[in-house]
Amino acid sequence: MQPLPLLSSPSPTPPPPLPSGRPLSVCIFSKAYSAHRGGRFLWPFMLVARQLAAIGHRVTVITTRHPDGAKRPIARIEQEPGISIHYLGAGRPEKTDRAYWRESAKTFDRLHLEQPFDIVMGRGRSSSGFLQYSRHAGTIPLISHEGTYPAWLHPYKITRRRGIAGIFRHLARPIHAWLDARANRRHTACLTGSALVIANGAALADSIAETYWWRPPPARAIPYGFMADDFLSIAAKPRFPARVQELTDSGRRFVLYVGRVTRTKGALDLLHALHAAGQEDVSLLVVGPMKKKNRKRLIQLALSLGLARRLVLAGAVEHAFLPALLTRAEALLFPSLHPESLPKAVMEAMAAGLPVAGYRIPALAGMIDHGSEGFLAPPGDSAALGALLGRLLREPALAARMGHAARRRIDRDGHPGRVDRLWQEALESVLPPVASRERTGSIVEPRAALAVAS
């Protein structure tokens, strides 16, 4: 499967008016992955860059060395409408290390003299070089963009303890947060030194205050722009493995899982839930890459539960072929216990009008109201999850009603026009008042929000 952005591009809806009266110049610090070719970042940063460019802003990306296999590091620049991408010559591909931080700060300072930036953005610790080495740190507001739920916090959210154990657990949480921050000092400095943290999910935005309780930066959630009709209308003739093709052509009923097939993603709970659902005419189609050992475990468990004939392992499937599977399935089964933030497989299933059955982890609780767009079971309780899945399969009217609600929610929350407005409001919120900008002749005066990083 070719690594493609799993979210559709924003629809060409009219951009919102720019309250500042002119475009802003935004610099994004990021890293380029090995699958990054021809200026197409793996999501999310190219999606964010394109989102801002679509609104009318000028975007510059300063990223790591180009991962094209060149033996000698060569700085290079690529362009696309509204976006300039600078691959640095120093450092290594995919690595935000000291060489990248020094070179990225030097490049930023040079570009800032040529055309001043109004706002700096970064994800994770990619903006650490700006904070540590740039002459302009503390004078230009920094926005951190986060897409990963804190791994240390997730177990606290999905398990409950009562009595003395619950009291100790409650007391341990802020200590755990502080220790995790100490162990990841550069990431901590980037987030606590930000004028604003943008999270791609509501649960992740809420987690920022708990993670940095001693100095919490402002945080808000902005999802990725997503047009369901664009995603579902991808023109591609599906090509599936023989068993998958036979399943889709036969008219047999099936539920679907899409994603990496690992223990934390609920690989084994998929089969336990299907077994507990009690619908013997329903198969399980598993779509996603898996290691040989996980494939072997799934097959062995399916044999022990008597589900071998109902389990279909598709492996990795091209993204363009997913709509053909989503529109045939009866539900998305998503028993993940992974610290998700905004699972794209769930978004795409909801766009296809599928009800979702999953565990009540923070990410899903922020996307699905139990009993409205799907069902959420207690984390790790595959029997309860199976019972809820069985209800969806036994009551087609209920499943259809939830599927329609899921589609409405995606259309509302992910509409690019709404996302454009949220981004514009976020950018404007970190800038000083217009009067101050006019006095200084710049959009940002010397004492901007990043003073907190000093």
- The predicted-structure confidence for 171-211, as pLDDT tens digits, reads as follows 999 999 999 999 999 999 999 999 999 999 999 999 999 99
Cα 220 to Cα 209: distance, rounded to the nearest angstrom: 11
Q: State yes or no: pLDDT of 446 exceeds 70.
A: no
Cα-based distances in Å from 222 to 219, 342, 364:
10, 10, 16
Task: State the residue for tokens 């290691």.
Answer: 291
pTM, entire model: 0.84
Q: What is the mean predicted confidence (pLDDT) over 53-62?
A: 93
Cα 37 to Cα 348: distance, rounded to the nearest angstrom: 24
Least trusted range by pLDDT, from 262-271, 274-283, 315-324? 315-324
Q: State yes or no: pLDDT of 5 exceeds 80.
A: no
**CATH for 25-226+415-445 (3.40.50.2000, 2.40.40.20, 3.30.700.30, 3.90.1640.10):** 3.40.50.2000
Please, how many CA atoms are within 13 Å of residue 105, restricted to the half-sphere of its CB? 17
Sign of CA dihedral 174, 180, 185, 190: negative
Cα 39 to Cα 85: distance, rounded to the nearest angstrom: 7
**Region class of 190: left (phi > 0), else alpha (psi between -120 and 50), else beta:** alpha
Beta-carbon contacts of 7 under 8 Å, excluding residues fewer than 6 positions away, are 43, 47, 224, 225, 226, 231, 344, 347
3-state class (DSSP) for residue 239: coil
What distance, in Å, lies between the first and last C-alpha atoms of the chain?
45
CATH 3.40.50.2000 range(s) for the chain read 25-226+415-445, 228-413
Helices and strands in the chain: count of H runs, count of E runs: 18, 14
Q: State yes or no: pLDDT of 297 exceeds 90.
A: yes
**Region class of 243: left (phi > 0), else alpha (psi between -120 and 50), else beta:** alpha
Q: State yes or no: pLDDT of 433 exceeds 80.
A: no
Cα-based distances in Å from 117 to 140, 410, 452:
8, 34, 19
* Other beta carbons less than 10 A from residue 172's beta carbon: 12
pLDDT greater at residue 226 or residue 369 = 369
| Average of per-residue pLDDT values in the chain | 86
Nearest to 218 by CA among 209, 226, 210, 227: 209
- Output the CATH code of domain 228-413: 3.40.50.2000
Q: What is the CA radius of gyration of the chain?
A: 23
Cα 271 to Cα 302: distance, rounded to the nearest angstrom: 7
Torsion from C-alpha of 8, 13, 14, 18, nearest 10 degrees: -30
At 74, the pLDDT band (50, 70, 90 cuts) reads low
Q: State yes or no: pLDDT of 449 exceeds 70.
A: no
Nearest to 399 by CA among 342, 303, 331, 450: 331
Q: What does the DSSP 8-state code read for residue 280?
A: T
3-state class (DSSP) for residue 37: strand
- The predicted-structure confidence for 109-122, as pLDDT tens digits, reads as follows 999 999 999 999 99
Pairing verdict, β 282-287 and 196-199: unpaired
Task: State the residue for tokens 């591909």.
Answer: 93
Strand partners, 257: 286
Q: State yes or no: pLDDT of 318 exceeds 90.
A: no
Q: How open is the CA angle 187-449-147, to the nearest 5 degrees? A: 35
Q: Which helix (H) or strand (E) holds 86?
A: strand 83-87
Could you tell me what percent of the chain has a pLDDT over 90? Answer: 67
At 137, the pLDDT band (50, 70, 90 cuts) reads very high
